[in-house]
Amino acid sequence: MFEAIFRAVVKEKMIYARQNKPSLVKSVGGRLSLCASVFRLAVEQGVAHIRNKTFKALSKHVIDILPQGDGLCEPISLDYIKALRTCLACSPHAEHIDKKEWATLARFCCTHVESQLGLLIGDPESADEDASGGSRNVRLSLSREASSASRRSQPPSQGVPRLNHDSEELMLCLEILLKTPNAPIVEHDEMVVKTILGFLISQPTVTRAHPPAFTALNSVLEVITTNNISLTAKVAQGIVPVLAKLWDSKQPTFREQMMITLIYILPQIRTIISKGRSRTLRRKVEALSEALFVECSGRADRDQLQLDDLVFPDPLKTFGAGITPLGLQGFCLRKGNQRAEMNWIVPQLMATVVSILDRSGGGPPGSNGGAPEEDRNKRLKVSKNFEELMRNARSMITSRKLCALQTLPFLVGQRDMESGDCAFSKSASDPSHRPIWNQIWQLCARYSANQATCRAACHLMRIVLAVDLVPYTEISKEVDAMILSIDLSGPANAVDSSLAVWCLILEKRNTVAHSSILQPGERLLQWLISKWRPGMRWFSGFAS
């Protein structure tokens, strides 16, 4: 059956190529289109039953028959490419493609995507203002500002190559090829990166092909981040403005792929910026940082990281990233919630980007052999991103304030510890600071009586007491008063942090002299019985 279709298509295409009259071209084109529809239908119905030999014949026929002039044969191109994608989407066929056939298919997809979009992408570094010689031989600018200005000043037909359905389907085929377990990506990494990066740079808005394009790029980055560092650096310099431009996409799966891309390229961004090799890349990363913050602060409350998504570890235990990768010393992400993982990654990425920008351009004072005044000026300059985050944390706009406050713990965890930072950390328990910690304890005790703030307040009380920022002897009277009026002044909820702080208080209380009249055990038991609501959603979640 397939051989009959092949012969019919070859015959009709030869006639189609020789016609000059529009009426005859339309007539033959209609017959070609009908043949292509039959071919696509036959593939869709029989793809699960055809053998590998037949699959190879089908793919060879598609590659041989589609090219016409500088493009593809229009009457059959879309149906044929969809048929090819259907074959590749069948795992047994894709997994049995040998290296030579894989290279032929990948080259076919890349060549015709580039041809349709008119892509001629040069080295991303050549667009950098810092590059020696000022080379500018790049047809598609990698700078966000230049591409934005081009789109404003030129009509779509002249400025940005318009994507057609053929290229979308070819990009889907390329994604499948790159996801196959035996894909020889290392041998053809530059070819596929050039096509994917060129496609992403050339398109100003999100299309149906963008998610598979980023998925394909991530498949390549997974391999080349350790096998081809120089190519990864070029990808990092080219893709950053694309991420900044498209980050406000409302498609969760698409944004997830962009996050994966950013995670892959962050080490290269850190290296390039820290060595001062690219001021242009630094500006692009600053634009990306702003895009991340704007998107995060513009989210609805339900899409932000919630307190219910977190668990509070013992503050005296050393945090182990190997056991809990999504966690900090003060809190960790509750396991098994994929939506919460996405909400966790966003502030973590923002903190990483801010840390890269603030740490670039210099180290501790005097480390570069410069004058002390120069070092001070440099450190003031590189701290502007952190200061901007602190200003947002004090903002009257709730969404911006919440986003900044969620980012700060990640940023503190990533900042390099210098001698001054270590000294400040050790001085936290200095006796001169005890009045401040006493005030913090009293504020937390007050807010623990509120259901909305009880859990966070109790966790902070536990930290303050566990690391001896406030000796128990100085707050014992306040604790006894809280126990006496536990129904009014005690924690509003029986949750993990409130139970943990009561256990710690009882442990500390047994180490000092106290009155036996109070009988805290009975009062705490009464409090637990009155607050325990196993049927409530939040309690059942915390009990785990």
The pLDDT value recorded for residue 523 is 86
What tens digit of pLDDT does each residue of 216-275 get? Answer: 999 999 999 988 999 999 999 999 999 999 999 888 889 999 999 999 999 999 999 988
Nearest-10 crossing angle of helices 229-246, 279-297: 40
Report long-range pairs for 439-448 (Cβ below 8 Å, ≥24 apart). 440/464, 441/465, 441/470, 441/475, 441/478, 442/478, 445/478, 445/482, 445/489, 448/490, 448/491, 448/492, 448/498
What tens digit of pLDDT does each residue of 163-206 get? Answer: 788 999 999 999 999 999 999 999 999 999 999 999 999 888 89
Mean pLDDT, range 305-330, rounded to an integer: 80
pTM equals: 0.81
Q: What is the DSSP letter of 397?
A: S
Q: What is the DSSP letter of 90?
A: S
Mean pLDDT, range 305-327, rounded to an integer: 79
Mean pLDDT, range 499-511, rounded to an integer: 89
pLDDT confidence of 489, banded at 50, 70, 90? confident
In whole angstroms, what is the distance from residue 416 CA to residue 412 CA?
9
The pLDDT value recorded for residue 169 is 94
Q: Please tell me the least confidently modeled range out of 349-358, 419-428, 501-510.
A: 419-428
What tens digit of pLDDT does each residue of 302-311 get? Answer: 888 888 889 8
